[in-house]
Chain A
Amino acid sequence: MPENSLPTADTDPAKGASPLSLEISGVSKSFGRFPALNGVSLQARDKEFLALLGPSGSGKTTLLRVLAGLERPDAGEVRFDGEDFLSIPVRRRKVGMVFQHYALFRHMTVAQNIAFGLSVRPRRERPSKSDVADRVADLLKLVQLEGLGGRFPAQLSGGQRQRVALARALAIEPRMLLLDEPFGALDAQVRRELRRWLRDLHDRAGVTTVFVTHDQEEALDLADRVAILKDGTLRQLGTPNEVYENPADPFVYDFLGAACRLPGVVEDGRLTVADWETKAPKDAPQGRVDVFFRPNEVMFAPLDGAGLAAEVTAVAARGPDVRIECLIEGKTFELEARGPGIPSGVAPGLSLRVKPLRPKVYPARVDA
């Protein structure tokens, strides 16, 4: 697989099993002087579970709101099932949107909330009262809130509110489900439970789903594919495995997990970092580079072995893992080892060598 490839190259429709359903091309949006989205293009396949991942201010929520029709982009195109999505007003798009703080109607019961989308349909298309009641009952069962239809939102826990919001969005039989930080307001325990449940629900409902998150673990764990955004631009789009194994740039590498970084040089297919020389990765850029590796993907060797010269400054055991703090090239790194990988007799003051197992190489940046 090519490194530093164009972010969208992985999304060649020919490779996909199902046809494209969502096509976003060149979407830009500014708020006053602040450019929230800057020419973002990406695609999602039918029934795909797509994560928009990025730090705050990356434009991910804006992009989601563009899909919902809540923001109108300054430029660009959004097509859904071949249709020009931007020309459809929000109320006719039939997107199921779950807001970050749920936006439940506080003066309506759970059942009334869920039924709202059906009850505002034009009279001709409106289901009968009993049909609506049946549908609400089905949805309450689906989100495991049977018997709570008469409660008001204020009487529910955070996780329950989230599921009501989801049921309300599903009630209109949406063409696409949009979730804005669906677990953002929940505590860690509830988050984990709901995550798997949401994935199951998506698989059963079979509807293209786009969700926004700033939590890389959540995105990698849950999504079919992950789109990583920063400063309003798409940095990479790919399956969780692709983006984790082959981050397109230093930002993505850093954002997806703990990263260690050292300067190096690539010449004639050889990578040199300080006193360690090794074969350069395929397609590595020539000249001065930044070398990245994960702190748990290293091998420790005695001083006469291969690797970066390091001095252990602190050691702490954390369950089966051992955290080894090392000084390499004047910089402190927190490395991890477990089981047989733990160097024997490791203690502060010990000199040894550290060999990154899968270093990634990017052209050097000037900044610190």
Chain B
Amino acid sequence: MTAQAILASPTKARRRPWVQHSILPGFGLSLGITLAYLGVIVVLPLVALAIRPWELGPAGVFHALAAPRVLAALKLSFGLSALAALLNAPLGVLLAWTLTRYQFPGRRILDALVDLPFALPTAVAGIALTAIYAPNGALGALAAKVGIKTAYSPLGIFIALVFIGLPFVVRSLQPVLQELDHEVEEAATTLGANSLQRAVRVILPALGPSLISGISLAFARAVGEYGSVVFIAGNLPGKTEIAPLLIVIKLESYDYAGAAAVGLAMVAISFGSLVAINGLQLMLARRGRA
């Protein structure tokens, strides 16, 4: 509907009390496209995901999820993702700090390269990481000498998850570090704080909320990650089998409901942890303002 039509007939806008009148045209058209697209691309598939597991009945869903192999896979995926996201915190703070606070040759290139894990297709990262950490790979051989198995073990999965999660933390922190008021640091200095005290008592608390949001983004990405993990994982049931792979395996045996149950469980757990993390973040932000 065009704006002219709305203007010409005062009753028309009345029929849409949920939208504030605007002179700009194209609301109906753009909202129509948006809703139709979202309906087909997001809502319909999600409805299928939410409904199909229950073909098994509540008990069936419970059994599908409580199977040792499924539980092990979920534990592995969520546990390693959390660990990887936590390691990303210090690495991310380090990178964000050096990139925003120091001027050195190659800084802008290093900055651009932080996005490489985003830009590199996951399958490419997957086979490259595997080649590096396989027993005959550059770093894998080194680790094997001291008796550590990297590829085809949880450690390999962990490394892949750190790789893909790193940009999230760095990119969440950079804008905050850039905008952090120098005067606040200078004030702390005039009050006698040394650099360590400034870092721990002034800068870190200011970073808190965005650090948490970076960690939670890295975590969410890691939980669902498939391409960069599946090659290095080894995929031993119960040991190094990640939850997304289990979905693929169940689909290959035409266990749609079982696959949907695992998928739904993953979405639910991710969603739950994101809500919890958001709550924590809100709490921190509120304290920061007070």
Physical contact A–B (CB less than 8 Å): yes
Q: Do A72 and B8 form a contact, CB below 8 Å, given A31-B20, A90-B23?
A: no
Tell me, in angstroms, the Cα distance from A51 to B282 when the chains sit together. 46
Asked whether, in the complex, the Cβ of A89 is within 8 Å of the Cβ of B21, the reply is no
Contacts of B10 in A (CB 8 A): 72
Contacts of B21 in A (CB 8 A): 71-72
CB-CB contacts of A77-91 with B at 8 A, as 1s and 0s? 000000000110111
Q: Which of B1-45 contact A (CB under 8 A)?
A: 3-4, 6-8, 10, 13, 20-21, 23
Tell me, in angstroms, the Cα distance from A70 to B21 when the chains sit together. 10
Q: Do A72 and B13 form a contact, CB below 8 Å, given A31-B20, A90-B23?
A: yes
Q: Which of A61-105 contact B (CB under 8 A)?
A: 69-72, 86-87, 89-91
Tell me, in angstroms, the Cα distance from A90 to B3 when the chains sit together. 9
Tell me, in angstroms, the Cα distance from A91 to B8 when the chains sit together. 13
Asked whether, in the complex, the Cβ of A89 is within 8 Å of the Cβ of B4, the reply is yes
Closest CB-CB distance, A84 to chain B, in whole Å?
Answer: 11
Asked whether, in the complex, the Cβ of A72 is within 8 Å of the Cβ of B20, the reply is no
Q: Which of A178-218 contact B (CB under 8 A)?
A: none
Tell me, in angstroms, the Cα distance from A91 to B23 when the chains sit together. 10
Asked whether, in the complex, the Cβ of A69 is within 8 Å of the Cβ of B7, the reply is yes
Tell me, in angstroms, the Cα distance from A70 to B20 when the chains sit together. 12
Closest CB-CB distance, B284 to chain A, in whole Å?
Answer: 32
Asked whether, in the complex, the Cβ of B23 is within 8 Å of the Cβ of A86, the reply is no
Tell me, in angstroms, the Cα distance from A70 to B23 when the chains sit together. 5
Q: How many A-B residue pairs have CB under 8 A?
A: 24
Asked whether, in the complex, the Cβ of A71 is within 8 Å of the Cβ of B23, the reply is yes
Q: Name which of B4, B13, B20 has the most chain A CB atoms within 10 A of its CB.
A: B4
Tell me, in angstroms, the Cα distance from A87 to B6 when the chains sit together. 10
Q: Which of A235-254 contact B (CB under 8 A)?
A: none
Tell me, in angstroms, the Cα distance from A114 to B251 when the chains sit together. 63
Asked whether, in the complex, the Cβ of A89 is within 8 Å of the Cβ of B7, the reply is yes
Asked whether, in the complex, the Cβ of A89 is within 8 Å of the Cβ of B20, the reply is no
Q: For residue A74, which residue of chain B has the nearest CB?
A: B10
Closest CB-CB distance, A88 to chain B, in whole Å?
Answer: 8
Q: For residue B14, which residue of chain A has the nearest CB?
A: A74
Asked whether, in the complex, the Cβ of A86 is within 8 Å of the Cβ of B7, the reply is yes
Tell me, in angstroms, the Cα distance from A32 to B7 when the chains sit together. 19
Name the contact of B6 in the complex, choosing from A31, A72, A91 (C-beta under 8 A). A72
Q: For residue B2, which residue of chain A has the nearest CB?
A: A89
Tell me, in angstroms, the Cα distance from A87 to B10 when the chains sit together. 9
Tell me, in angstroms, the Cα distance from A70 to B6 when the chains sit together. 12
Tell me, in angstroms, the Cα distance from A131 to B152 when the chains sit together. 76
Q: Name which of A31, A70, A72 has the most chain B CB atoms within 10 A of its CB.
A: A72
Q: For residue A68, which residue of chain B has the nearest CB?
A: B23
Tell me, in angstroms, the Cα distance from A71 to B22 when the chains sit together. 7
Contacts of A31 in B (CB 8 A): 20
Closest CB-CB distance, B2 to chain A, in whole Å?
Answer: 8
Q: For residue B8, which residue of chain A has the nearest CB?
A: A87
Tell me, in angstroms, the Cα distance from A69 to B22 when the chains sit together. 10
Contacts of B20 in A (CB 8 A): 31-32
Tell me, in angstroms, the Cα distance from A31 to B7 when the chains sit together. 17
Rank and list the top 8 A-B pairs by shortest CB-CB distance, nearest first. Answer: A89-B4, A70-B23, A89-B7, A72-B21, A90-B23, A72-B7, A87-B8, A89-B3
A69-B23, A70-B23, A71-B23 known; 8 other A-B pairs, CB under 8 Å?
A69-B7, A71-B21, A72-B6, A72-B21, A72-B23, A87-B7, A89-B4, A91-B4
- Between A and B, 17 residue pairs with Cβ closer than 8 Å are A31-B20, A69-B23, A70-B23, A71-B23, A72-B21, A72-B23, A86-B7, A87-B7, A87-B8, A89-B3, A89-B4, A89-B7, A89-B8, A90-B3, A90-B7, A90-B23, A91-B4
